[in-house]
A = this chain, B = another copy of it.
């Protein structure tokens, strides 16, 4: 068990959250969301995705969000990019981090990106070359998705995850995270895979991304934290899910993750009351959508009250 240390919670509601919802939230509201997260102490935000607007009109204003996010001091701005073209848009936007998803599941990779995992590895090489030739310092992060199982193909062999982990770093990714895109992970599996991955790639393993589909989200976060991971993705109100992974509802809720780490005595820099206020706003903006999370209902325990 590690000593007290800073944990980074990356808010991905504006990307993973909104891509899972049919309605398009207007840009003004998104900026308010972004501002609310920043004011609650969030210092890393995934603001959108450079995918074609015809495929995902909900995220068509990503460049505007990046521009605004970059005006907030100390905020690290991430965007998702599906391919070289998206990477070019990310570099043009000036985002600090571009995150490329790669499905460890062959079947999910074909459904989500219409490419095999190894074709995506090749694309990473091209994106790295593009980034380097542009002179940009934008970090190229790969999110290894369906790393714990897949709604389409079922099990994903650990050996394949480990192979791809090395392959994406060899191809030029700066760092890589492991994602339970569809809510299949269990904490024992999480601990084993993160331990193995750390042993292989050390601090180039940078993030855990967990969904709470079957109630194990926070148990998985804890298990990954135990191995040394200190950056996690989360969505305000626990929305989110991959459109090509049926039943993959619900990232771990940002406010629940904040509570987990606060209760463990870890520093996140997050202001709990402001996160709950943001959640209330999100509930208003997304009225009619199913929201998730636990702690908003019960509030903080008396043992944590100031």
Contacts and interface: CB of A to CB of B under 8 A. Distances in A.
Interface of A: 1, 149-156, 182-184, 186-189, 191-192, 212-216, 218-219, 221-223, 247, 249, 253, 256, 259-260, 263-265, 293-295, 298-299, 301-303, 305
B303 A150 contact: yes
A256 B214 contact: yes
A40 B254 CA distance: 35
Contact of A189 (B182, B223, B259, B264): B264
B214 A259 contact: yes
A213 B149 contact: no
B260 A219 contact: yes
Contacts of A153: 302
5 contacts: A187-B222, A189-B263, A213-B294, A215-B259, A216-B218
Given A1-B192, A249-B298, 7 more contacts: A149-B302, A184-B303, A214-B295, A214-B301, A215-B256, A215-B259, A219-B221
Contacts of A302: 149-154, 184
B303 A216 contact: no
A222 B293 CA distance: 19
B219 A301 contact: no
Query: Which of A149, A154, A293, A302: most chain B CB closer than 10 A?
Result: A302
Given A218-B219, A219-B218, A263-B216, A184 B301 contact: yes
Contacts of A152: 302
A122 to B, nearest CB: 28
Query: Which of A182, A188, A253: most chain B CB closer than 10 A?
Result: A188
A149 B218 contact: no
Query: Which of A149, A156, A189, A215: most chain B CB closer than 10 A?
Result: A215
A260 B303 contact: no
Contacts of A247: 298-299
